[in-house]
């Protein structure tokens, strides 16, 4: 056990901190601290330009192997990158689905040709991705997808028809990865394929869905014989579930670290606010802030522990994926804490029409945390059955 | 950055685990609740080298650190060990090491050899209760901001029965008036260190206790049938267990982190101990609450073993600084004017 960063890592810290201090200025000053959770719809163009700035400095996809354009950065360096990025107020990353989901999935399961075609655009901050999993009848029961993929011999293309829903940032994306049924007679997780689609084509229609925040980060996406090439399926027809689940594994890996740094910024905002308006003198508020702080430390230490391999010391298997349940519950409580610190001000919109302050957006947006990416109830089922081996529930 | 234990640390834990789970059965815990005589058990623990595990090698111990011991303390919790091993290894011996000099040279070898016991009485709670004071030949007692080395023969010890029948707690009288200056052997830093090590010991044991309660409840709910099915197949029961599993699993890293900070004299070690104790005792409290519920009326009986572990978990939550104390330590630090804020300040 050695819980500190090495001198080389501290050198790396200085490198990224200096780079950010030099580059996150001028035209980018306006997007500092913007575009985080609850604020994703803001400044998309400026944030895309920022992705290219980052890429030019070699600061996108730093955890990818060098062979694929990354830096092969160690876990420690990735942690440091996220710390410094959040400290500097780096804007919410438009490229994160590509960098943390599409990229690792293609590196693990894709063909050489797919890697050559798709990785450079992600790395350069020029091509953006969205995730086409959920459908009207496939939420928690994701394996119930109905979207169909048919291989058209004449054009040698896959034709995709059906509907996805809740697709975050589809309206800002160049590509979508889609799970669709390749075997029309199949049910459940068999007979699925994992496809890489261009969003810019006549067969795809994107319709924003207005959220309770009054803004639109997610969308309905309709596919009417949308097409992709014969080579745009990852793995073989029938492998879709395996690839889709592999991708969810990356979702809970290193990408969680960046999120914790944003959480830290939010907690700091709350502490500042409590000092400003006197809530810091209320012993109940003080205790809840202490709780929030401890919860964040717990997540931080656990990520570091998981990422350092946590050998045979009796832990739950990482497959149990307990992180989602923990952070979503913590973050939802943080939103409530923010409102309670604000007191009567909490209710009053920042400006008409329905403009919310940062903490108000945090409160409303964090209501979604316990739903997306697997609801808390579904997570508990998985933990009980897979990690604790409790008797299985009959499934219909 | 590396959160892993070494192979040696894990092997040592495994052999201690084999011994403790084999010997310290619920039947033996119950017998010790009743008789209170643990002399043969202390002999066994001494033979295994556990009693002197943190005593420096030059004084006849194994010279191990908080990081080495933390996994063992967890195992002590798992069996609800009815003997003050955690107190001796994590609080008493390190306090003597801090004090040093002749006192350390004369008492540490005797601790390691199992010939003498030392009890430490300090902490924020009033009245101050000292664990196993009647079995100690030396008591290090906090009085007026200093630790005093006192001979129990000069003191009046009064037993306070604990709801956890294996905890033997004493109030100590007679030290105030006579507290002769010469008996003061250490001041604030040693007192603070003892409190932090005591807190770490509670936290580590709470992890083991929570694991034990969870194991009992998962096993029980797989066997017990209602409506023609094991009750463990019902989601409401599963979700109770899953919530415990998550809290428990996530409380481990802060406990290990605190052990490292104490071993390395990290400037924020006190706060790290507070994180650890809050997280682990909260996990154990949730385990107690949910596991008795999952047992139905059985969980409410004296006959079913669950209460042995629940009661220790409840007791340890209040020892070496209760929830309010540790939360206050944290919030005070967070609201200091120069408290480091920002994403870089999270490790
Ligand atoms: C902000 C946001 C962004 C999203 N972004 C995306 C995206 O980019 N791409 C994408 O594909 N999807 C996205 N989603 C969709 C998300 O993954 C789903 O909402 C989620 O999987 C839950 O499905 P559902 O909404 O259909 O709820 P349902 O499955 O209809 O669940 C309704 C309720 O029933 C409970 N329930 C269901 N099944 C069980 C069970 N077996 N046991 C116990 N309780 C159960 C649930 O816990 C929930 O409380 C997003 C969602 C949100 C809120």
Complex confidence, ipTM: 0.90
CATH of domain A7-94: 1.10.540.10
Sheet strands side by side (includes B156-161):
B130-131, B168-173, B156-161
| Pairwise CA distance, residues A70 & A75, whole Å | 13
Note the pLDDT of residue A311.
43
Greater model confidence, A150 or A74: A150
Find out whether A265 and A334 touch, Cβ atoms under 8 Å: no
| Pairwise CA distance, residues B4 & B11, whole Å | 13
Q: DSSP string of A251-302?
A: HTTTHHHHHHHHHHHHHHHHHHHHHHHSGGG-HHHHHHHHHHHHHHHHHHHH
Q: For residue A394, what are the contacts with CB-CB under 8 A and spacing of at least 6?
A: B233
Q: DSSP string of A179-234?
A: EEESSTT--TTTTEEEEEEESSSTTEEEEE---TTSS--EEEEEEEEEEEEGGGEE
Domain A129-237, CATH homologous superfamily name and number: Butyryl-CoA Dehydrogenase, subunit A, domain 2 (2.40.110.10)
**In the predicted model, what is the mean pLDDT of residues A14-34?**
97
Enumerate the residues of chain B whose CB falls inside 8 A of the CB of residue A315.
249, 252
Q: Can you give the residue ranges of every domain in chain A?
A: 7-94, 129-237, 252-387
> Could you tell me the pTM of the whole model?
0.93
Burial track B10-32 (b if 16+ CB lie within 10 A, e otherwise): eebbeebbebbeeebebeebbeb
Q: Can you give the residue ranges of every domain in chain B?
A: 1-116, 118-186, 199-334
pLDDT at A220 over 70: yes
Enumerate the residues of chain B whose CB falls inside 8 A of the CB of residue A394.
233
Task: Identify the residue whose C-alpha is closest to ligand 1 atom 52.
Answer: A372
Structure tokens given for B31: 């017998």
User: Furthest-apart CA pair in chain A: how many Å?
Assistant: 73
Query: Which of 252-271 (A) contact B at CB < 8 A?
Result: 260-262, 264-265, 268, 271
A393 is catalytic: no
**How far apart are the two ends of chain A, measured CA to CA in Å?**
47
Peptide bond preceding A353: is omega within 30 degrees of 0, i.e. cis?
yes
**Assigned CATH class of B1-116:** mainly alpha
Find out whether A64 and A74 touch, Cβ atoms under 8 Å: no
Structure tokens given for B124: 């924020």
Nearest by CB to residue B242, choosing from A84, A309, A383, is: A383
Identify the CATH assignment for A252-387 out of 3.40.720.10, 1.20.140.10, 2.40.128.20, 1.10.220.10: 1.20.140.10
Greater model confidence, B203 or A261: B203
Confirm or reject contact between A392 and chain B (CB < 8 A). yes
Identify the CATH assignment for B199-334 out of 3.10.20.310, 3.40.640.10, 1.20.140.10, 3.40.50.300: 1.20.140.10
For the purposes of burial, counting CB atoms within 10 Å of the CB of B48, is it exposed (0-12), middle (13-18) or buried (19 or more)? middle
**How far apart are the two ends of chain B, measured CA to CA in Å?**
11
pLDDT at A89 over 70: yes
Q: Which helix (H) or strand (E) holds A384?
A: none
Length of chain B: 347
| Pairwise CA distance, residues A261 & A348, whole Å | 28
Enumerate the residues of chain B whose CB falls inside 8 A of the CB of residue A313.
4-5, 10, 13, 71
Nearest by CB to residue A315, choosing from B249, B275, B345, is: B249
pLDDT at A282 over 50: yes
pLDDT tens digits in sequence order for chain B, 347 residues long:
889 999 999 999 999 999 999 999 999 999 999 988 788 999 999 999 999 999 999 999 999 999 999 999 999 999 999 999 999 999 999 999 999 999 999 999 999 999 999 999 999 888 899 999 999 999 999 988 999 999 999 999 999 999 999 999 999 988 665 556 668 999 899 999 999 999 999 999 999 999 999 999 999 999 999 999 999 999 999 999 999 999 999 999 999 999 999 999 999 999 999 999 999 999 999 999 999 999 999 999 999 999 999 999 999 999 999 999 999 999 999 988 777 666 555 55
Closest CA to A314 of B295, B294, B215: B215
Nearest by CB to residue B246, choosing from A3, A300, A322, is: A322
The residues facing B129 across adjacent strands are none
User: Furthest-apart CA pair in chain B: how many Å?
Assistant: 71
pLDDT one-digit tens code per residue, A302-335:
888 877 775 444 444 454 468 889 999 999 999 9
Active-site hit among A251, A273, A347, A393: A251
Confirm or reject contact between B243 and chain A (CB < 8 A). yes
Find out whether B283 and B248 touch, Cβ atoms under 8 Å: yes
């Amino acid at each position: 056990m050695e819980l500190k960063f090495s001198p080389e890592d501290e050198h790396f810290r200085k490198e990224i901190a200096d780079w950010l201090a030099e580059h996150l200025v001028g035209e980018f000053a306006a997007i500092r601290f913007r575009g985080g959770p609850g604020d994703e719809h803001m400044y998309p163009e400026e944030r895309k330009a920022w992705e290219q700035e980052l890429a030019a400095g070699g600061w996108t996809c730093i955890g990818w192997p060098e062979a694929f354009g990354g830096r092969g950065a160690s876990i420690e360096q990735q942690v440091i990158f996220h710390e410094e990025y959040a400290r500097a107020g780096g804007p919410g990353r438009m490229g994160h689905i590509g960098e943390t989901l599409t990229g690792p999935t293609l590196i693990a399961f894709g063909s050489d040709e797919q890697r050559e075609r798709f990785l450079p655009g992600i790395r350069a901050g020029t091509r953006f991705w969205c995730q086409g999993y959920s459908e009207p009848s496939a939420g928690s029961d994701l394996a119930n997808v109905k979207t169909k993929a048919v291989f058209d011999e004449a054009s040698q293309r896959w034709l995709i028809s059906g509907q996805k829903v809740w697709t975050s940032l589809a309206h800002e994306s160049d590509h979508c990865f889609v799970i669709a049924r390749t075997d029309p007679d199949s049910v459940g997780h068999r007979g699925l394929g994992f496809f890489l689609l261009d969003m810019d084509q006549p067969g795809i229609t994107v319709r924003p869905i207005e959220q309770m925040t009054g803004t639109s980060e997610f969308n309905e996406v309709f596919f009417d014989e949308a097409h992709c090439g014969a080579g745009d399926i990852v793995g073989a027809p029938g492998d879709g579930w395996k690839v889709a689940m592999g991708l969810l594994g990356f979702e809970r890996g290193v990408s969680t670290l960046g999120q914790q740094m944003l959480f830290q910024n939010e907690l700091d905002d709350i502490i500042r606010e409590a000092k400003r308006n006197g809530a810091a003198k209320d012993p109940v508020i003080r205790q809840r802030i202490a709780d929030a702080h401890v919860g964040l430390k717990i997540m931080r230490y656990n990520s570091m522990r998981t990422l350092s391999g946590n050998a045979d010391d009796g832990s739950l298997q990482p497959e149990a994926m307990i992180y989602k349940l923990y952070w979503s519950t913590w973050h939802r409580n943080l939103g409530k804490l923010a409102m309670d610190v604000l007191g009567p001000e909490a209710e009053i919109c920042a400006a008409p029409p329905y403009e919310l302050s940062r903490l108000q957006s945090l409160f409303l947006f964090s209501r979604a945390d316990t739903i997306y990416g697997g609801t808390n109830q579904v997570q508990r089922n998985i933990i009980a059955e897979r990690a604790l081996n409790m008797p299985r529930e009959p499934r219909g | 950055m590396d959160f892993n234990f070494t192979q040696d640390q894990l092997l040592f834990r495994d052999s201690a685990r084999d011994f403790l789970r084999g010997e310290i059965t619920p039947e033996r815990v119950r017998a010790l609740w009743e008789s209170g005589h643990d002399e043969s058990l202390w002999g066994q623990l001494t033979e295994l080298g556990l009693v002197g595990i943190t005593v420096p090698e030059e004084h006849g111990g194994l010279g191990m650190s908080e990081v080495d011991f933390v996994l063992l303390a967890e195992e002590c919790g798992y069996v609800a060990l009815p003997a003050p091993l955690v107190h001796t290894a994590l609080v008493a011996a390190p306090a003597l090491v801090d004090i040093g000099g002749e006192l350390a040279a004369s008492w540490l070898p005797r601790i390691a050899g199992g010939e003498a016991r030392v009890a430490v009485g300090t902490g924020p709670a009033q009245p101050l209760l000292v664990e196993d004071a009647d079995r100690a030949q030396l008591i290090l007692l906090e009085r007026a901001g200093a630790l005093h080395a006192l001979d129990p023969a000069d003191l009046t010890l009064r037993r306070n029965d604990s709801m956890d029948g294996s905890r033997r707690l004493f109030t100590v009288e007679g030290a105030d008036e006579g507290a002769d200056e010469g008996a003061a052997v250490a001041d604030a830093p040693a007192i603070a260190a003892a409190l932090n090590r005591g807190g770490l010991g509670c936290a580590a044991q709470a992890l083991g206790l929570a694991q034990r309660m969870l194991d009992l409840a998962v096993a029980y709910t797989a066997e017990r049938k209602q409506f023609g099915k094991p009750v463990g197949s019902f989601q409401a029961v599963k979700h109770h267990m899953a919530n415990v599993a998550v809290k428990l699993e996530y409380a481990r890293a802060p406990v290990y982190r605190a052990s490292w900070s104490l071993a390395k004299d990290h400037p924020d070690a006190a706060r790290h101990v507070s994180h650890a104790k809050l997280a682990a005792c909260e996990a154990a409290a949730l385990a107690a609450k949910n596991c008795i519920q999952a047992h139905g009326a059985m969980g409410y009986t004296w006959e079913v073993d669950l209460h042995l572990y629940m009661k220790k978990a409840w007791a340890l939550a209040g020892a070496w600084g209760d929830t309010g104390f540790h939360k206050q330590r944290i919030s005070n630090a967070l609201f200091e004017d120069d408290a480091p804020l920002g994403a870089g300040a999270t490790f």
